[in-house]
Amino acid sequence: MVQEVARPESFFFDRFGVTPRALEAVLGSALERKADYADLYFEYRTAETLGIEDSLVSRAARHTDCGVGVRVCAEERTGYAHSDEITVERMRLAVRTARAIADGTGRAPVPVKLGQSVRGHDLYNVSETLGAVGPEERARLLAEVDRAARQFDPRVKNVIATLSGEQRVVMVVTSDGRIAADIRPLWRLSVSVVAQDAHGRQVGTSGTGGRVDYSFFGENERWREHALLAARQAVIGLEADEAPAGEMVVVLGPGWPGIILHEAVGHGLEGDFNRKGVSAFAGRLGQRVASAACTVVDDGTLAGRRGSLNVDDEGTPTGRTVLIDRGILSGYLQDRLNARLMKMAPTGNGRRESYCYPPMPRMTNTFLLPGEFTPEEIIRSVAKGVYAVSFSGGQVDITSGKFVFSASEAYLIENGSVTRPIKGATLIGSGPEVLTRVAMVGNDLALDPGIGTCGKEGQWVPVGVGLPTVRVDGITVGGTRT
């Protein structure tokens, strides 16, 4: 069983019969055509999902998959191949394919000698195993979520709730002799509530999770908090006025609204976009790109957080990278390939969805550091504007930084007070421009509750976002009322 493994690298050696000497030979053959670098990424994943709808269990699944990916890098060219069979023969076949794609030149194999294991962090304080909690107990928890949301208001007509858990064992073996391995837990509770009255229908959502035990959801009835948050959001939507339209002051609430920072700014700070010159931040290190009130950090070392990792998917320990320091662009997020090509140091941000994909620079937990103002001071400073508490989705153009986000919970600010709820509010703007318009930053930094998943080039990985209360002077709000 995966859960019984004390050292994750021994799991692959023992279960699949591969040996360090065989891996040295495979990696040596990967470098035959004068490639600069090669690595092997092993993965064994077990996942479980249980969901309810209309107060009944509607879906249940458990699956296990495993495989190995081979990457060969020659200058800027990368070859990648993978197999769902972890055998030396399959690795050799994958090496031939990846080596041919990378298309280096040369003939002789390069000797590879594996050294000591990379020592990563210890960020997952987990004592339970994935299978320790049976489906009956998880179904009972989801039934409690359903009951709590329905009792919130008679206008709640349906509750859809899902519990998902997984455990991954991963190992990275590199041509420069490193071995890094990790056992990664991940849990998530998602709640969607439908409220309806004679005038319409609204949906509210909430959720929580992280690299935690299942018992996380029961601590202080954390599950109840998110059942009620989703129900409240849906009911407020029924009572909301149509959103105004035009450019105005927008106050972003703490926590999940950090998704705007992630999408509109974070992706533009990933190394590959900047190496290729397609990011709005390319070539701007040392320049002012934001208000002096803004310091943006990506930190993969926060214990238990959804975006955190002991080591990244290239075997590099994750770190804390200051991207924007008091308005000055100070760094990019790097994997090993882009760091080498840009003559910079890797930052522990090489990530991949699974063994089927090569790594690329990705965010972990990205947030804006707190400022000096209280949330109340920020709200009081606004004569007329919008207070955006949560978002349901959005999109961004990496090249320009332009974004569109839909607010799932928002309110009017009138004469320094939060007043009526509004619906249909869409925020439209440019990430780099918005950062220059940040006028006040609150002292109430909060990270999201552990629900974020980020997509890039078809790959999806768990991430975290965060924000204190922030006042932005001038964002276009798309609404139906002028």
Res. 7: pLDDT tops 80? no
Which pLDDT does position 107 carry in this prediction?
A: 56
Q: How do 77-83 and 56-74 pair as beta strands?
A: antiparallel
CA distances from 12 to 67, 153, 215, 445 (A): 11, 51, 29, 41
CA–CA separation, 425 and 427 (whole Å): 7
Which whole number is the average pLDDT over 438-450?
Answer: 98
Res 3: pLDDT: 45
How far CA 334 is from CA of 91, 155, 342, 390, in Å, comes to 27, 48, 9, 29
Identity of residue 454:
C
The token pair at 132 is 């320790």
Q: How confident is the model at residue 105 (pLDDT cuts 50, 70, 90)?
A: low
**Strands (E) located in 198-319:** 200-210, 241-242, 246-252, 296-299
pLDDT in tens, 169-194: 999 999 999 999 999 999 999 999 99
Token pair of 221, please? Answer: 């009835």
- From residue 338, how far is each of 142, 281, 461 by CA, in Å? 44, 16, 19
CATH 3.30.2290.10 fits 2-239, yes or no: yes
Mean pLDDT over residues 348-358, rounded?
98
With tokens 């008679």, the residue in question is 154
Q: In one letter, which amino acid is 80? A: Y
**Residue 86: left if φ>0, alpha if ψ -120 to 50, beta else—which one?**
beta
Residue 225 pLDDT > 50: yes
- Please give the residue that has the higher pLDDT: either 109 or 275: 275
- Nearest Cα to Cα of residue 78 among 314, 399, 416, 400: 314
Give the chain's largest Cα–Cα span: 76
Q: What is the pLDDT, as a whole number, of residue 2? A: 41
pLDDT band at 1 (very low <50, low <70, confident <90, very high): very low
Helix (H, G, I), strand (E, B) or coil at 324: strand
| Among 322, 247, 284, 268, CA closest to 431 | 268
pLDDT mean across residues, the chain: 93
Of the listed ranges 8-12, 63-67, 213-217, the one predicted with least confidence: 8-12
Report whether pLDDT(14) > 60. yes
Instruction: Please answer whether residues 279 and 397 qualify as being in contact, where contact means their C-beta atoms are separated by less than 8 angstroms.
Output: no
Check: CB of residue 332 under 8 Å from CB of residue 280: no
Give the residue-averaged pLDDT of 314-339.
98
Question: What mean pLDDT comes out for the span 152-169?
Answer: 97
Q: pLDDT at position 174, please?
A: 96
Chain centroid, CA 365 distance in Å: 7
What percent of the chain is modeled with pLDDT above 90? 85
pLDDT at residue number 54: 94
Alpha helices per DSSP H over 103-184: 135-152
Q: Give CA–CA dist 195/234, Å, rounded.
A: 6
pLDDT at 221 > cutoff 90: yes
- Is residue 222 packed enough to be buried (19+ CB in 10 Å), middle (13-18) or exposed (0-12)? middle
What's the angle, vertex CA 374, arms to CA 369 and CA 380, rounded to 5? 125
User: Do 442 and 257 contact (CB within 8 A), yes or no?
Assistant: no
Coil/strand/helix, residue 314: coil
Dihedral (Cα; 46, 47, 48, 51), 10-degree rounding: -170
Which conformational region is residue 203 in: left (phi greater than 0), alpha (psi within -120 to 50 degrees), or beta? Answer: beta
**pLDDT (0 to 100) of residue 8:** 83
Q: What is the pLDDT of residue 108?
A: 60
Note the pLDDT of residue 75.
86
pLDDT at site 355: 98
Confidence of residue 324 (pLDDT cuts 50, 70, 90): very high
Q: Is the pLDDT of residue 146 over 70?
A: yes
What is residue 482's predicted lDDT score, i.e. its pLDDT?
A: 54
Token pair recorded at residue 416: 């320094």
Q: For the residues 307-319, what does the mean pLDDT come to?
A: 98
Report the share of the chain in percent with pLDDT over 70.
Answer: 97
How many residues make up the chain in this entry? 482
Q: Domain limits of the chain? A: 2-239, 242-478
- Mean pLDDT in residue range 361-372: 98
Per-residue pLDDT band at 22 (split at 50, 70, 90): very high
d(CA 112, CA 21): 9
Per-residue confidence (pLDDT) for residue 6, from 0 to 100? 52
Task: Give how far Cα 212 sits from Cα of 21, 122, 444, Å.
Answer: 35, 12, 24
